[in-house]
C-alpha cells in the first residue's frame, strides 16, 4: 500500500510541474493557473515522501484520551486576586 502511495505521489508531482510548464508555454507568461499547479506540487510531494500516514496506523502511540471532566483535575487551583498580585484595574 505504501509503494502505491509513493508512486502516485511522484507521478502527481511530475504531472503538476508539467502542467504548470505547459500553461507557461501556452500563455507565454506566468498566469494564476501556472502558479496554482506549482502551489499544489508540495502536497503531492508530501504524499510521496512521508513514511507513514495517520489513517494507515492501527495503534495511536502519542494520542491521549481527552475528556471534558472537571473532576479529573488533580486539585483545585486557587486563582490569586489580580489586585493583590500587582495588577491595576484599567481606567477607561
Give pLDDT, residue 13.
93
Give pLDDT, residue 81.
78
Does pTM surpass 0.85? no
Closest CA to 49 of 9, 1, 79: 9
Question: For residues 47 and 5, is the Cβ–Cβ distance under 8 A?
Answer: yes
Domain locations along the chain: 2-49
pLDDT digits (tens), the chain, 92 positions: 678 888 998 999 999 999 999 999 999 888 999 999 999 999 989 888 888 766 666 555 555 666 665 555 566 678 777 777 777 777 76
Give pLDDT, residue 39.
94
Amino acid at each position: 500500500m505504501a509503494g502505491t502511495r509513493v508512486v502516485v505521489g511522484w507521478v502527481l508531482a511530475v504531472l503538476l510541474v508539467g502542467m504548470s510548464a505547459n500553461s507557461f508555454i501556452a500563455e507565454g507568461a506566468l498566469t494564476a493557473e501556472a502558479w496554482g499547479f506549482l502551489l499544489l506540487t508540495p502536497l503531492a510531494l508530501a504524499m510521496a515522501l512521508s513514511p507513514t500516514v495517520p489513517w494507515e496506523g492501527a495503534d495511536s502511540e502519542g494520542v491521549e484520551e481527552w475528556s471534558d471532566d472537571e473532576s479529573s483535575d488533580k486539585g483545585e487551583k486557587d486563582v490569586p486576586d489580580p489586585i493583590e498580585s500587582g495588577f491595576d484595574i484599567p481606567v477607561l
